[in-house]
Amino acid sequence: MFDILPRQVSRIVNEVWPVLYAMLCSNIIWPTRRQWRHKRGKWNKLKEAVGCIDGTSHAILRPSNEPQRMYYSGNRGFHCIHTQVIIDNNKTFVHVESGFFGHNKDANTFEMMTPIGDRRTLDIPRNCYILGDCIHPIVTPFTLAQLRRMSRNHRQVQKKINKTIRKYRVFVEHVIRLKDIPDSWNSLQT
């Protein structure tokens, strides 16, 4: 399209990425265990929830010089790359991981992410939880299949929990603003 060879683009990306990372990494910091514990209790109805995770897709032009199938998202209907974003309960970015191929589902991108959990690379204490939708095995809503297997009384309680989780989890979508991530990055630099 721009008469640039793929290896030239690859070289440019490899040279520019470390510079971008150096500029932005000081703005996005994973909290310490102590900081995570301090964040507990900010959301009244989910006192142990300390943040949210969600994925977003960024549309790209159809690749012409490499296998385009890797980038095509069938359920979205366009070529894209995926990004996973984690915010804390102050609506601050604490982790952003991007570059997942469009053909991957959210569950696959989560599995490919840096490990999150107690004593893992992205360390978070056991009594602190990150909210996500049903593909994220952290704190997720109960699925319809799970609800059907429960007694009526238990099902009503779990539905109420689902509603509460959705209420707080939507914060990550508001922070991402799906199409406005580049604007967020720009504001971090100023």
Q: Which residue, among 88, 83, 66, has the nearest Cα to 185 in the 3D structure?
A: 83
The CA distance from 16 to 27, in Å, is 18
Residue 13, domain member (yes or no): no
Residue 123, domain member (yes or no): yes
Among all chains, which residue has been given the structure tokens 């932005």?
24
> Is residue 147's pLDDT more than 50?
yes
Q: What angle in degrees, to the nearest 10, is found between the helix axes of 181-189 and 6-24?
A: 50
Q: Which residue, among 87, 103, 76, has the nearest Cα to 176 in the 3D structure?
A: 87
Task: State residue 176's pLDDT score.
Answer: 57
> Is residue 117's pLDDT more than 80?
yes
Task: State residue 10's pLDDT score.
Answer: 62
> Is residue 151's pLDDT more than 80?
yes
Judge whether 49 and 164 are in contact, CB under 8 Å. no
The CA distance from 185 to 28, in Å, is 10
Residue 174, domain member (yes or no): yes
Q: Which residue, among 35, 132, 127, has the nearest Cα to 86 in the 3D structure?
A: 132
The band of 94, judged by pLDDT with boundaries at 50, 70 and 90, is very high
Residue 115, domain member (yes or no): yes
Residue 12, domain member (yes or no): no
Task: State residue 88's pLDDT score.
Answer: 92
* Region 115-136 average pLDDT: 84
Q: Which tokens hold the place of 182? A: 């580049």
Q: Which residue, among 123, 112, 161, 113, has the nearest Cα to 140 in the 3D structure?
A: 161
Rg (CA), the chain: 19
Query: How many domains is the chain built from?
Result: 1
29 or 9, which is more confident: 29
Residue 15, domain member (yes or no): no
Write out the residue range of the structural domain in which residue 81 sits: 28-189
Residue 70, domain member (yes or no): yes
Task: State residue 75's pLDDT score.
Answer: 67
The CA distance from 60 to 58, in Å, is 6
Q: What angle in degrees, to the nearest 10, is found between the helix axes of 152-176 and 181-189?
A: 60
Question: How much is the pTM?
Answer: 0.68
Q: Residue 100 forms beta bridges with which residues?
A: 82
Residue 14, domain member (yes or no): no
